Structure 1
Amino acid sequence: MPRFRAQEAVTDSLKKSGLFKETKTNEMCLRICSRSKDVVEPMIKPQWYVQCSDMGNEALNALAVMKIGSWRLSQASILLIGRVNLWLHNIRDWCVSRQLWWGHRVPAWYVVFEGDNNEEFGRFFERWVVARSEEEAQALADQKYEGKKFRLEQDSDVLDRWFSSGLFPLSVLGWPDDTKDFRTFYPNSVVETVHDILFFWVARMVMLGIILGGNVPFRKVYLHPMVRDAHGRKMSKGLGNVIDLVDIINGITLECLHDRLLEGNLDRKELDKVREGQLKDFPDGIAECGADALRFSLISYTAQTDKINLVIQRVVVTVSGVTNFGMQYGLL
């Protein structure tokens, strides 16, 4: 039932039951979806969860002997390790289902008997069958409901992206099949990532690797700084502050930078704001810097342990320095 009709139905039911008191005008904040412009209203829906307390303890023991380093071993690395341990000590059950269009489907099938009302799909928890494939689910359901006529319908939810990506060290080597690659190369030697997904990805890869693969998925975790914009903000399409490194190498005009924004899904008001930011940061666009200047600039940033605020003008200055050096010593 649509939400507005549901509100009217609830009101009518209260009136018929003699429980309705009065109606008042109430001002409230309505959340609006930035893409569809529709009103965002919470809806309670059953979800799939993974029990994590046992896996969390296994991961804690594994991380205690693993090496977690960064470009510079410092107090920051110790702080990050402590933060991950705190997360795992206080871990909660993990909601792994998402109501999205794209992703790996939840491997759960619902038993629908002849004559069932479609609106009752998923209502009876005992009818869910979880299996590796539809054939396996069919066999389990046949055994459970022997002699009854039914069909199986897979849950339309998809798995959380961190659950799917947590299987990466296993799936690239052929898991769940017992492949030669899996026997030879699992566990891997090292994973390289940034600190902000240390729990969301690394800790969960460790948990799933131990449970499904029988061992930690890697021996070392190597952290690198996160490249941010000149103002210290994380680069994202929603902010419109993503800088393509190819544009630094080859150069780009301010007009082309503005045109790139139209390829995204920014709101008109946000689009005007981002354009003003581009005009302020790159009034003349981005000059052609070449790959070497970009490399030198990024190397000079590696003294930072957790983030790199990439200032494009710094790359341009590096180009001038390299050019002057080459001309001074007759290299150009």
Structure 2
Amino acid sequence: MVIPPPNVTGSLHLGHALTNSVEDAICRWHRMKGRTALWVPGCDHAGIATQVAVEKKIKREEGKSRHDLGREEFIKRVWQWKNEKGDRIYHQLEKMGSSLDWDRTTFTMDPGPQEAVKEAFVRMHEDGTIYRSNRLVNWSCTLKSAISDIEVEKKELPGRTELPVPGYDEKVEFGVLVSFAYQVEDSHERIIVATTRIETMLGDTAVAVHPKDERYKHLRGKTLVHPFTNRKLPILEDDFVEMEFGTGAVKITPAHDPNDYEVGKRHSLPFLTIFTDDGYIVEGYGQFTGMKRFEARKAVLEALQEKGLYVETKDNPMVVPVCSRSKDIIEPMIKPQWYVKCLDMAAKAIEAVKSGELEIIPKMHEKTWYHWMEEMRDWCISRQLWWGHQIPAYFVKIDDPSFPARQASFVLFDELTFSMLS
């Protein structure tokens, strides 16, 4: 058995103690029966958690960021930290009396596992299991990295609430619904929409209404005018809109909202990314350009009030996605990332239980198993980290007009990687 590797950043907790006790009992039982039992110890490099811990240490002691040090020096510091702190977990396992084979102790960033990751990536890329795609991801502006769904905490708010956000001196207001109006082009009419993230209206590319909503039938084919960019926004008809909710009109920001992303694909809308990787408004938005996203929240609201387009703000119970590592507010962003196809694997996992090849005890948990597998999505394996396994791929561009462009392709394994595997 391979021990589920604990993170190098932490100490063992009761969950580890329970798991290790069960595994130890299994090993000892089989040894008592005269069998050979190998229990391999190990530790996980914990990409995000370790990088954040070392970054905080360097910032606290030297007032520098990892970018000030550079990649090579930063990685050197992480290894120093790991060598100083990383044995704590092993000492705890020893104190528990775990009968592990200590000669086989393995760290996930040891040369062997690193080569195994590269080999696995190459094989899975060649057979089509791993692929690259430009999609909406959970983006942490503090980490400047995508994170998985499991690393996102859902914070429920009863209404208007101020939360601390990394990088901001003052708390930021959440749990409110802001209504504002878009002017119909060449008309005195307006359409009122509402949003919990008023700053994202800078990236709106349409407004949607339900096809059966009689209130907006006369506006079919009309366009709205964006108050800050003069961008023309089409009025779309889409079944996803709830006629009874609010005004029955929904602003569409395809590049910064999961539902809007799907609407954008269905109607071939422009996908406008309005934030930089570290959460600042990009070029092209006048007075808002260069603002932090939650400073822009206030500024956009004030600008709408000045233009007479602001309608109201009211309390709105909602769920705020928070990065479990950095405590930053997650920003949905479109990024080119690497994915693992999971649907075929999920189907095989379902069949294994139905056929009896795999038995889940107690049987009542089969329902949970099927729910997990049936709701499976392709897994984003990219992380934009310096500490961790490098994805062994990069895109070659040859600056030579005599060389056919079609020969530029993905080449496997080089230092010039553009994303990391956590």
For the aligned pair, the TM-score class normalised by the smaller chain equals under 0.3
Normalization by structure 1: what TM-score?
Answer: 0.27
**Which structure carries more relative contact order (alpha carbon 8 Å, separation 6+)?**
2
Higher helix share: 1
Q: TM-score, normalised by structure 2?
A: 0.22
- The higher radius of gyration belongs to 1
Q: In proportion to residue count, which structure has more strand?
A: 2
